[in-house]
Amino acid sequence: MTAKDSRAAALAAFASLVADETRATCLLALLDGRAWTAGELARHAGVAASTLSEHLGKLVTGGLLTEERQGRHRYVRLAGAGVAQVVEDLAAQVPQAAAAAADRPVRGLREASAGSAMARARTCYDHLAGRLGIAVTDALTGRGLLRQDTGFALTDAGIEWFGAAGIPLDLSGRRPAARACLDWTERRPHLAGAAGAALCRHALDARWCVRVGSARAVKVTSSGERALSELLGIDPAALR
């Protein structure tokens, strides 16, 4: 077998891990960046615990998930930012018409409201997404803090802005300072990378945003509206 054939076989094996609706459901749920128990994922996916356990085993073996056990509970999370990027990028490639056709009818006002909340503001693994993520990205770009002309890159002024805003930004690791992540609801790129993660972490720690329920949706608080207006000139009405 040639090296090329070996890579093709490995790619096909990797793709097969995602090419299952139950496993895809788990991967999308875990984009919230938190660890879930096997039981929580089974209920979320609507399958038996034994079925879900088999799927999780494949995802862990394939390197997409990591797991840890605490007592009787088995917790799993995405194996890292690279896996989250692959899942989000794949989700963004699904044509909107195809996604709508595959969706079952929305069951009531509560479910419709949850979908609206996800589109308005959510976490994408460890950074902000939805209309909130796009608004922040546009504001950073408009103020000359972020460049998008040759790929995402923080400017010198952008790095200084993080320090002045009191947002710790660690640029010592291998992760890029800024990276474009295609938003699957807005169909435009939002800010990811070390800067996106730092901003999201600060927004949650400072309670600019609070999580809504157990999904990835977040809500901008009144203090968050004030902070984003003062720091980036974002109109509070655009965050509601």
3-18 and 21-29 are packed helices; what angle lies between their axes, rounded to 10 degrees? 80
Q: Is it the case that residue 216 has pLDDT exceeding 90? A: no
Q: What is the 3-state secondary structure (H, E, C) of the chain?
A: CCHHHHHHHHHHHHHHHHCCHHHHHHHHHHHHCCCEEHHHHHHHHCCCHHHHHHHHHHHHHCCCEEEEEECCEEEEEECCHHHHHHHHHHHHHCCHHHHHHHCCCCCHHHHHHHHHHHHHCEEECCEEEHHHHHHHHHHHHHCCCEECECECEECHHHHHHHHHCCCCCCCCCCCCCCEEEECCCCCCEEEEHHHHHHHHHHHHHCCCEEECCCCCEEEECHHHHHHHHHHHCCCHHHHC
Closest CA to 239 of 119, 118, 113, 120: 120
Q: Is it the case that residue 111 has pLDDT exceeding 80? A: no
User: If you write DSSP's letter for every residue of 102-161 in order, what string do you get?
Assistant: HSPPP-HHHHHHHHHHHHHSEEETTEEEHHHHHHHHHHHHHTTSEE-BTB-EE-HHHHHH
Q: Is it the case that residue 16 has pLDDT exceeding 60? A: yes
Percentage of the chain with pLDDT > 90?
60
Q: What per-residue confidence (pLDDT) applies to 77?
A: 92
Q: Which range has the worst mean pLDDT, 21-35, 103-117, 125-139, 191-205? A: 103-117
Number of Cβ within a 10 Å radius of residue 141? 17
Both tokens of 9, joined, read: 């076989």
- The residue type found at 75 is Y
Both tokens of 211, joined, read: 């999580």
pTM above 0.85, yes or no: no
Please tell me which residue, 117 or 123, carries the higher pLDDT value.
123
Cα torsion 192, 195, 197, 202: sign: negative
Decide: 125 and 31 in contact? Cβ < 8 Å.
yes
User: Which band of pLDDT confidence, cut at 50, 70 and 90, is reported for residue 112?
Assistant: very low
Q: What per-residue confidence (pLDDT) applies to 81?
A: 84
